[in-house]
């Protein structure tokens, strides 16, 4: 990464993640929810519509090889909001921003630091957005406050975190993987049955790299009711 700036990682916990989003200006009519299984029956139990899926996965040789094979696009599609991640341990926050930013036609953001950041960066490059996030004290303070409120003790800033977050969103009938460590989004192809089922299939590809590992976690951005 180009920057040595490091944040405390946000716990993969809907309560903590929602506190960050709600404190940043996302209305409480939307929220992050646990996905308890990737079968169609369990996915159908989620509040609809599901507009974003977040995947947390443990890093390892097999997963790294899969990620290397998921090549970013040469150009970012029109209307797709994408930003680089230059802050260590901020992958969860960047994933949340990606999910919300690409669904502003459905999620009407309230006044707050998230709406201001997205408005201020809507015409910027992915690299410029990353630089502005680094310097955004309000987002940083909101992040830091909630990062210390998880169920597990927050690691020190110097501690290595061997997990990573990516977001999946739909735009113009395609499903995209947004990983701030890449230069641009990954086009995962056309949505098949539904966005959430297509996103689940992409999550399964990661899980197949380390099938005995129980530390994968899938979350969905949906209405709260």
Active-site residue numbers? 91, 164
Q: Which two tokens stand for residue 106?
A: 């459905």
Alpha helices in 89-150 (DSSP H): 91-101, 113-121, 126-134, 137-147
Alpha helices in the chain (DSSP H): 14-24, 40-43, 61-69, 91-101, 113-121, 126-134, 137-147, 195-207
Q: Which two tokens stand for residue 19?
A: 């506190």
Do residues 54 and 166 touch, judged by C-beta distance below 8 A?
Answer: yes
Q: Going edge to edge, which strands form the sheet with 52-58?
A: 30-34, 217-223, 52-58, 163-171, 174-178, 186-190
Rounded Cα gap, residues 175 and 190, in angstroms: 6
> Interior CA angle at 133 toward 107 and 130, to 5°?
100
């Amino acid at each position: 990464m180009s920057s040595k700036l490091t944040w405390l990682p946000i716990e993969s916990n809907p309560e903590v993640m929602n506190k960050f989003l709600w404190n940043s200006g996302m209305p409480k009519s939307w929220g992050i929810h646990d996905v308890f299984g990737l079968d169609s029956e369990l996915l159908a139990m989620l509040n609809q519509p599901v507009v974003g899926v977040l995947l947390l996965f443990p890093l390892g040789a097999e997963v790294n090889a899969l990620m290397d094979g998921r090549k970013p696009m040469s150009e970012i599609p029109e209307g797709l909001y994408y930003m680089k991640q230059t802050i260590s341990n901020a992958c969860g926050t960047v994933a949340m921003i990606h999910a919300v930013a690409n669904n502003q036609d459905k999620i009407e953001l309230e006044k707050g630091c998230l709406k201001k950041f997205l408005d201020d960066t809507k015409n910027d490059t992915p690299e410029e957005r990353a630089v502005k996030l680094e310097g955004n004290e309000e987002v940083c303070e909101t992040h830091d406050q909630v990062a210390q409120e998880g169920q597990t003790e927050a690691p020190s800033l110097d501690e290595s975190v061997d997990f990573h977050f990516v977001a999946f969103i739909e735009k113009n009938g395609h499903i995209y993987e947004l990983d701030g460590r890449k230069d641009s989004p990954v086009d995962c192809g056309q949505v098949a049955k539904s966005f959430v089922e297509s996103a689940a299939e992409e999550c399964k590809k990661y899980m197949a790299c380390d099938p005995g590992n129980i530390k994968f976690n899938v979350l969905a951005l949906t209405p709260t009711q």
